[in-house]
Structure formats: C-alpha cells, structure tokens
Amino acid sequence: MKSAAPRMGGHRGREETAVSGEALPGPVPAKRRDDARWARLRRLLVRRRLVRMARRFGFSRVLGLCLLLPLLALRVWDPIPLEILRLKIFDLYQVAMPREASPQPLVIVDIDEESLAEVGQWPWPRTDVARMIDSLRAAGAAAVGFDVVFAEPDRTSPGRYADFLGDVDPAVIEALRALPSNDEVFADTLRQTRLVLGQSGYHRKLEGGPPPDLPKIPLAIIGNDPTPYLFHFPALVRNTPVLEQAAPGRAIFNLVPGRDGLVRRIPAFVVAEGQIVPSLALEMLRLATGGNAFAIKTDEAGVSAFVVGGVEVPTDRHGRIWMYYAESRRDLYVSARDLLKGRVPPERLAGRLVLIGTSAAGLFDIKATPVHDRIPGVEIHAQMLEMILSGQLLLRPHYALGAELFVLAAVGLLMIALVPVFGAALTMLLGALAAAALLLASWVLFTSEGLLIDVAYPLVGSAAVYTVLVFTNYLREEGRRQRVRSAFRQYLSPTLVDQLANDPGRLVLGGETREMTVLFSDVRGFTAISERLQDRPQELTRLMNRLLTPLTAEIMGRDGTIDKYMGDAVMAFWNAPLSDEDHAMNACDAALAMLQAVDRLNERLRREAEEGSGETMQLKVGIGINTGLCVVGNMGSEQRFDYSVLGDAVNLASRLEGQCKTYGADIILGETTASAIGPRAAYMELDLIRVKGKTEPQRIFALLGGEPAAEGSEIQKTVNGIWDLLTAYRFQDWEAATRQIGALEGHTLPHFDLAGFLALYRGRIEAFRRHPPPRNWDGVYTAETK
C-alpha cells in the first residue's frame, strides 16, 4: 500500500523520493531548517553573552590587560633604554648611601703629576720601577699589582742606547751591549716579589700570540663551562716576554664601562685569546693568600660566584662584580716620587696590598662611577679589594627578573580590578601606598642585604596601566569641561574659564580675601588724541587695539589677569585666580615690559607716518601699582557677573596712576609693593602723599627699572641725591633742599622726568617760603585731584 501522507504545494516527502528512487530537488526539510535556526540563535546568544560580559568586565579593563601583557614581554626583552633606567635607579641608591670605607690593608702608589714632573715622562726606566718594587718588598708588602702594562722594551737599556751612538769607540759599544737590559733587571726583581703584572684586553686580534710555556693560572670550575657567559676579548696587550715569564702573576686590568660611560660592574674573569684570565684585584688576593687555585661556580643561569683565598664572592650571570663604591679616599695614596726617594715609612707599606697606577690626566686612566665624576682607575681596583675583604658586596640575584615580573603583574592586575570599582582617586591612593611599600622594600634590601631589586619598571608599568584605566573617565570628564569652556569662554578670562571647568561649583556669587597686587594703566593725553581723530573713529579704535594688545600680552605673560578695559585704561591684578608667591615683582616686571611695548609701538607709528607722509602719533602711558588685601571673586547679579577685585588697595592703585603726570613718573608704586620687591628693582621715594578719598598718608615710589638698573652706580647716586632732597624738605631746611635741587639738575633717570620733578619741589619750596607750613607739619602733601 502506498503511503497516504499528504503533499502540500507539490512538495515531495522522503517516502515518495525513496519509492520513486529519484533524487528530486526541493527545499530543506523542516528539521534541518529548525536546526539551522537554533544554531543561529545559539551563536547570537553567545555573542550577546560575550558583549554583556565585556560590558560587565569593562572596556578599560580590556585595554589594561592588552597593555599589561606587552609590558611584561618588554621587560623580558629588556631593551637598552630600559636597562639604563634600571641602572640609574641603582646609581641613586649608591649616591644616597655610599659604602662606608673600612680600614683594610691597602695602599696605592700613585704615578701622579708631581712624580712625572720630578722623575720624568712615563714610561720610566725599568730600573727605577725595579727600585720601587725593591722598596715595597723590603718594607714587607703582602702583594703588588700593576695597573699599567709594559708592552715595549725599555728604550733606555744599555744595549739599545749603544745602538744610537755614533762615532764611538767600538769597545765602549760592546761593553754597553754586554750589560744586562733594564727589562732583565726588572725581571730579576719580579721573580723575588709576590707581584701581578697588568694586561689589557684588546678589541681585535693582534699579530703573534702569548709567549710559549707561560705558567697557567690555577683554576677550578664547579659546574658547567663558564666561558659562554664571560666577557670576551679577541686579544691581550701583554708585557714584554721577559717580564711575562718572570712575573708570579698576570691579570687583566680593564674596567668595562656601561653604555653611559659609568663603571658599575667589573669582570672578575674574562676570556682572552681562548683562556680564562682573572682580574687584577683577584690575582693579587690569590698571591697574597698563598697562591691557591681560583674556583668558578656556575648554575643554570650562568656564573654564580667565584672563590679566592677561601672566600666566596657572588657575581652576576656574566661573572661581573657589582661595585659598591665608597667616597674617594686620598689617605690610600702615596706618591711614587716619595717611594723612590725613600720618604715613605716602612710601616705604611708592611703587610699591605699595593696597587701601582696613575692619577695623572695625561695617562688617560680617569674613570666615572655612579658616585664619582672623576676617579683614577687604580682606585676602583682598590675599592674592589676593599669590598671583598670587608664583605660589603652588592648582588643582583638571578631570581630578580622573575620577582620584578611578578610585582608588575600583581600590581597591574590589582589596578585592573580596582580602578573601575573604587574610582581613580582612591585607587591612586592605594597605588601610591603600594609604590611606597615597594620602594621601601627595595631600599631595605639594598641597605641591609646588598640586593639590587628594580621596582622602577613595575611601578612605571603599573602607572601606564592605571593611565589606560582612567582614560575613559578622563574623556567623559573632558567632555563636561569642554561644555563649560564653550559656555563661558566668550566673556571670561581663559585662566578663570579653566578653573571653572575644573570646579563648576565656583559659578556662584561671592569672593575671598587675599593679598594681591593691582595695576592701573592709562594713556596720557588721550583726550587730545581723541579730538585729533574725532572724524576718524575707526582709526582711533585701531590705534587703541594696537596699544592694548601688546599691553595685555605683557600682563598675561607674567601671570597677570586682565580685570577690565575702560576706554584707554587697563586694570589688571596678580595672585588670583591662581596663586602667585611673587605677585608684586611680576606686576613690576609687567609694567616695565609695557613701557617697552609702548616704545616699540611708537617707533612703528613714526615709521608709518614717515612712509605715508601722515601725522605722527606718539603714545605715553602712566601706570600705578599697589599691593594689599583685596576681595576677589565673582561679583555682579545672578543674571550676569564678572570675576573682579575690590578693596582699598584697588582704589589706591587707581589714585597712584593718576599721580604719574604730577610727579613725572611713568610707574608709581605703593609702599607695600616697594617693600615686597626689595632690592630686585630700582625705585626711589617720591613723596609722602594723602591721596584724594583717604585720610592716611601713603609713601609713594617711582619704579626706574629692573635688577640691572638697581645695580647701576649713576642711578644709585641720583637716587641718593633725591633722598637728601626729601630729607631736607621734610625738615623744612629750604636752603639745603634748594642746593640739592641745583646739584641734581642735569641728571637723568629712566622712565622718569627728573627735571619736572625738581621743578615741582622748587615750586613747593617757594610757596612754603612765602607761606610757611604750620609747626606740626608732618611733610605730607595732600593731592587735590584723583
């Protein structure tokens, strides 16, 4: 029986297809369609879940993780700038707490400038050097080390001297050649002394090679082969063969500086010409302690330590000793000339390790360290010996990198977790506490254990993560501030706008009281200028703009705030809205700069008039400056207010500006302002005046110039003469005052009409002679005008 399954719209089912045996085309069956829908739905749900998780986790956290991982990788890579940063931090530790010098049996025989001047230029005859060694051996020196190399035969040897003789008896020449060379004499001395000859590593291969049959330095290796980790030199600059054969010890004295030229680490051993060679200080210790073998210890990270004289000294993985420097010690030095002359007491040398080197600048062995700008290289070897003998060692352990990576990861993850929860301020406080704790731990490890652990990079990396985390908050906050700026920039000063953007709560009426300096500036003869340009108002406007623009620039360039423009006048103040500890001096500097700006403008106006055959227009301003307590803040109505300043000090500054014409001064200062600037500017007293609207008299001063003017002898002489004039005037000694006026005639002062000032006082004196002041006159002049 055939299936009676219904068919809809000509669609065939599975049964029909199976019966007919034909592969008929058609739509996807319902079950498959449902499966596809569910798959799409599941993918959509997964994406939405991931989006929700991402939103819950926070975009800033994702960015923080994306930054933290590269920071960890960067530390493992350790590029040069990062290494230098780390080394500079370790340098600061040594600068903050240098090693305390300990009394150790050390002496430096210094081939100093005085020795070169007395004995002669270097190299000296080897016989003289042999005499020095004989003196050291006789005094009982424990071991001697040369921080110099004798790479060439002595040119003063008898045989070499004979080669340069001309027409001389052959018997004399043969007798000279029969004498032992200076190098052989020196070699005989070396054989009898526990002495180390210095060798220098060289950056490229040299012709020849080491002398045959040189005794090898005894060396034991505990662990793997250390040579892959040690510093390599292609060649050695050696001493002459006869000296190399005779010396009980040979060692390298190279001090390998860092990339910035500072010597921080010294290779204990190097590989040169395929052999492991000890450093000068180590070979001296080996000879002084009986000549036993060295031992070099290695582990998986590289070299870990070496043993000399039964003492184990830790190193970094490249076999370098971290130097812990003390201050330079001049008490270690004895002059080579004193040793040659027998002027060094034997007890000064007995039982000591003696290093022979140079502090002479011309012999090029001056180095720089984290603690010393200039130090002889031989003293660095001495400090290395002192460190080993006293046990005052530094070490950067092999686990330091892992510890620093862990600190960076821990602090970074902590920031990522906490910043979105607690906000930037609280997290910054927690981060600051963590940073302080890490810095303290690093410092304690340095001072107590001599361990060098870098916390600078973990802190810098954590700060970078913190910056990324607060970036989105910053953008949101910046948007809010920008809206405030846009609303108020058109009619408030830029400084005030920025403060309002940072603190919108200040958009209220009211103010605060603080000491401020106020400046008023006005154009002299502005009424006449306006009358001349009354038919050309646009030209008058342009002229005022050309004047007020540079004046404003000078004020704002010296931290001043423009309060308002009043026609041709400018009012400005200092110490608000931003604090200015030196507001009085800044106002005076601005006033002097304003006068210079006016002079420049007048010069341009003069040239323009000459070129255009027009009318010459010259401007002159008067400036009054006063300092005192003022009320400053937003003042006005609730509909419109301005940031301005009020107070008695403001009124007095305006009155002082009005007196500029009376006294012939371009700038007049109040007494408080003059007292605040002190000797940093040139000024002189003008009068004791009672300005209009005030009952208390005010002492006023004319500002003449800045500090260079204050140091001028001619200006000071004239100012002293004016003081004598004022003194005689106030004591009603009219004859003395008149004589002083005569003595001052012909003198000049900057920014001041001295002739007009003298005429003013001459007129007063003549009036007082006709009508003497009362007996209780206090010398105060009462101004009749503002």
Query: pLDDT at position 31, please?
Result: 56
Distance separating alpha carbons of residues 288 and 276, to the nearest angstrom: 20
- Residue 511: per-residue pLDDT: 73
d(CA 751, CA 592): 9
Length of the chain measured in residues: 786
Q: DSSP string covering 429-441, please?
A: HHHHHHHHHHHHH
DSSP count for the chain of H helices, then E strands: 26, 27
Measured distance CA(457)–CA(455) in Å, rounded: 6
Distance CA(346)–CA(390), nearest Å, equals: 24
Average pLDDT over residues 314-318: 94
Q: Nearest CA to 187 among 256, 233, 236, 127?
A: 127
Q: Which residues lie below 8 Å from residue 485, measured CB to CB, with a gap of 6+?
A: 497, 498, 501
| pTM higher than the cut 0.75 | no
pLDDT tens by residue, 664-707? 999 999 999 999 999 999 999 999 998 876 778 999 999 999 98
Nearest to residue 542, comparing CAs of 599, 487, 619?
Answer: 619
**Average pLDDT, integer, range 705-731:** 90
| Percent of the chain predicted with pLDDT > 90 | 58
What pLDDT, on a 0 to 100 scale, did the predictor assign at position 308?
93
Q: How far is CA 299 from the centre of its chain?
A: 40
If pLDDT is split at 50, 70 and 90, which confidence band does 491 have? very low
Q: Residue 353, Cβ neighbours under 10 Å: how many?
A: 25
Among residues 299, 300, 303, the alpha carbon closest in space to that of 314 is found at 303
**What pLDDT band is residue 532 in, cutting at 50, 70 and 90?**
confident
pLDDT in tens, 98-123: 999 988 999 999 999 999 999 999 99
Q: What is the pLDDT of residues 398-432, one digit of tens each?
A: 889 999 999 999 988 888 888 777 777 787 888 88
The more confident residue out of 480 and 180 is: 180
Tell me the two tokens of residue 634: 């937003």
Which range (187-201, 270-284, 346-360, 466-480) has the least confidence? 466-480
Provide the b/e sequence for 522-559 (b: ≥16 CB within 10 Å): bbeebeebeeebeeeeeebeebbeebbebbbebbbebb
pLDDT at 13: 38
- Count Cα atoms within 13 angstroms, Cβ side, for 393: 17
pLDDT score at 11: 39
* Average predicted confidence (pLDDT) for the chain: 85
pLDDT in tens, 608-667: 888 876 677 889 999 999 999 999 887 777 666 677 899 999 999 999 999 999 999 999
Confidence tier at 440 by pLDDT (50, 70, 90): very high
pLDDT at residue 520 tops 80: yes
In 62-149, at which residue ranges do the beta strands (DSSP E only) sit? Answer: 106-110, 143-146
Question: 148 with 356: CB under 8 angstroms?
Answer: yes
In angstroms, rounded to a whole number, what is the distance separating the alpha carbons of residues 595 and 554?
A: 10
Q: Look up residue 279 and give its two tokens.
A: 């450093």
- Kindly provide the residue ranges of all beta strands, DSSP E only, lying in 183-301, ordered along the sequence: 195-202, 219-222, 231-233, 235-237, 249-252, 265-267, 269-272, 275-278, 294-299
* For residues 475-487, average pLDDT: 62
DSSP bridge partners of 682: 705
pLDDT at residue 500 tops 80? no
The pLDDT confidence band at residue 470, using thresholds 50, 70 and 90, is: confident
The CA-based dihedral angle spanning residues 467, 468, 474, 479, taken in that order and rounded to the nearest 10 degrees: 150
Residues 31 and 15: their CA atoms lie apart, in Å, by 15
**What is the pLDDT at residue 232?**
94
The DSSP code sequence of 432-497 is: HHHHHHHHHHHHHIIIII-B----HHHHHHHHHHHHHHHHHHHHHHHHHHHHHHHHHTTTS-HHHH
- Selection from 566, 562, 556 nearest residue 642 by Cα: 562
Residue with tokens 């920031």: 415
> How would you classify the pairing of strands 294-299 and 302-308?
antiparallel
Give the integer Cα–Cα distance in Å for 279 and 266.
8
User: Which of left, alpha, beta for 106 (phi over 0: left; psi -120 to 50: alpha)?
Assistant: beta
What's the mean pLDDT in 524-547? 86
Q: Give yes or no for residue 138 having a pLDDT over 50.
A: yes
Predicted confidence band of residue 468 (pLDDT cuts 50, 70, 90): confident
